[in-house]
Structure 1
Amino acid sequence: MHFQASALTPGLSPRHAYGAMIRLHREAANMSPAALGDIIGYSRVQVSRLETAQRSIPPDLPPKLDAAFGTGGLFVMLYELVKNDVFPDFVRRFMDLEAKAVRMRKYEAATVPGLLQTREYALALLRAGQINATDEKINEDLDARMRRQIVLARQLPPHLLILLDEAVLRRPVGGARVMAKQLAHLLTVGKSPRVLVQVVPFSHGAHGIMGGSMTLLTMDDNRQYAYLEGSHTGQLIEDVSTVADYELSYDLLRASALTRDASAAMIRAAQEEYEACETPPT
């Protein structure tokens, strides 16, 4: 049966343009989708889905494409434009700034911030939040979330100040084993001199930013941004006076948070409780 190629729409997004480039070079090399798939380790259907932007671009694919087409790094270079294309438009501008920030201050009301999530914890969150998504879509989003953590592996990573509501520790995302591992990771990361993790205990009561999560970004030229996030929405704020108001709210809340050591002790106690849940009775 003759294979009918799907129409391309390169103007819709960077990922659509990337897919169109794959087909352009494949056809110029007189390769069928199956032939290209044999070279890069994909099926004919998977190649078609890449060309029509029905799936995201895996990070190991661009060098394989350059090797297949002899394009000398073109697809690796263009990958930088599309690697965040799985995220909604309202997130991308924030992520561009986050990757360049020299200081981040975060308040998280319900979950561990994405930059510090373990893979298992992130997977549990994605599954809970995307009940109709395919496993492939969830895994694509998971890989994208994990890639964001590269900002902490920079030669000079940003200073990261994190306030966690106590609810973050108490809600067993993914079950006891996943939570124990996640809290252990928090304790390890929290030992870095460039990372400060503090807990806002339930006993503090109401505060000005308890309705959602917030990130404050400081750039190397001292520009400030605030990013407010809900479960499916986000808002980037650039107005100087409005950002200053959120900074004040953050500083007031941080003044009531537990110290670094007291926070670590609470996290460790919660971790031990989850570990005890894992241990079968003797």
Structure 2
Amino acid sequence: MSGPKDLDPSSSPRALLGAELRHAREQKGLSQAELGQLVFVSGSFIGQLEAGSRRMQPEYARLLDEVLETAGFFMRNCKAAATSKYPAYFVDVAELEAQSTAIRQYTPLLIPGLLQTAAYARAVNRAYDPTTPAETIEEWTEGRMDRTRLLDHPTKPLLWVVLDEAALRREIGGPAVMAEALRHVAGLVRRSRIIVQVLPFSAGEHPAMQGALKLMEFADAPPLVYFEGVRSSRLEDDPATVTQLRFVFDLLVASALSQGKSLALIEALAQDYVHEDHP
């Protein structure tokens, strides 16, 4: 019996790779959960690979080839399925955002990427790597702006953001850039496209002081939580972890300003930045 054929990169490589994974798993008589145990991931993760919603990384491809005896097929085809304009550590997150039905996010220091303006994103990218050529900074900025087009849809996904007051007061790119950025956020709120609440300094201690978090929900897959660090990231689908961090987000919402007071603060700070730029 002939083995699976290498994938055509011009087609939908992730979907084809997922279909081949499902075929190879069923040939072995394994459930998604059973295969997940053999390669040290959850059954839902295998399901996401088969659906093409998660990128197959080389370490998983190697294990799958060993367990399913596919003669290196998955390793050979990883590169075809991994093409993306985003940094390697962020590829899965950007694509999962586009598939999500709801995103709940807390950011302690920055306006999140989906809400950024080009000027704000450019300043952030430059700060991340001051020695990067200008054309590379522009490519990164364009990639981030591509992500913001997710909000062109009038209702999907639901985006609920808790912004720490520090993210509003940390001056990124100068007063004019901050004024534009905050007005952009306020505009999205006023168009009822997003929900934004500000977690004020006066709230004191809170359960997410150790960092940012993003929860994503899907129509046909389990929810995920995303953690981001310095040029690194991690996706977690463990149900207990996701449930615990959803509770953390709910606590942040309870401590944050109301939507009306949050919008008033954002617009007031935007006006302050305008005055700072034009004394």
Q: Same fold (TM over 0.5)?
A: yes
CA distance in 2, matches of 1:182, 1:243: 30
Deviation, structure 1 residue 154: 3.0
Contact 1:158–1:194 (Cα < 8 Å) also in 2: no
Give matches, 1:224-239, under 5 Å: 224-239=223-238
Over 3 Å off, 4+ runs: 81-84
Among all aligned residue pairs of Structure 1 and Structure 2, give the percentage whose two residues are the same amino acid. Answer: 37
Q: Tell me, yes or no, if structure 1 residue 213 matches structure 2 residue 212.
A: yes
User: Where does structure 1 lack aligned partners over 5 or more consecutive residues?
Assistant: 1-9, 15-80
- Describe the SS at the equivalent of 2:156: coil
Contact 2:154–2:193 (Cα < 8 Å) also in 1: no
TM-score (norm 2): 0.68
Distance 1:84 1:254, change over 3 A: farther
CA distance in 1, matches of 2:180, 2:124: 15
**Corresponding residue for residue 273 of structure 2:** 274
**Corresponding residue for residue 191 of structure 2:** 192
Contact 1:218–1:225 (Cα < 8 Å) also in 2: yes
CA distance in 2, matches of 1:155, 1:131: 36
For residues 18-67 of structure 1, give each alpha carbon's deviation from its aligned partner in whole angstroms, at most 9, with x where no partner exists.
xxxxxxxxxxxxxxxxxxxxxxxxxxxxxxxxxxxxxxxxxxxxxxxxxx
- Describe the SS at the equivalent of 2:230: coil
CA distance in 2, matches of 1:148, 1:82: 20
**Corresponding residue for residue 162 of structure 2:** 163
**Corresponding residue for residue 124 of structure 2:** 125
Distance 1:82 1:122, change over 3 A: farther
Distance 1:82 1:128, change over 3 A: farther
CA distance in 2, matches of 1:208, 1:196: 20
**Which letter maps to 2:88?**
D
User: Where does structure 2 lack aligned partners over 5 or more consecutive residues?
Assistant: 1-8, 14-79
**Corresponding residue for residue 240 of structure 1:** 239
Give matches, 1:69-88, under 5 Å: 85-88=84-87
**Corresponding residue for residue 29 of structure 1:** none
CA distance in 1, matches of 2:257, 2:225: 23
Distance 1:83 1:265, change over 3 A: farther
Deviation, structure 1 residue 84: 6.8
Distance 1:257 1:84, change over 3 A: farther
CA distance in 1, matches of 2:203, 2:136: 39
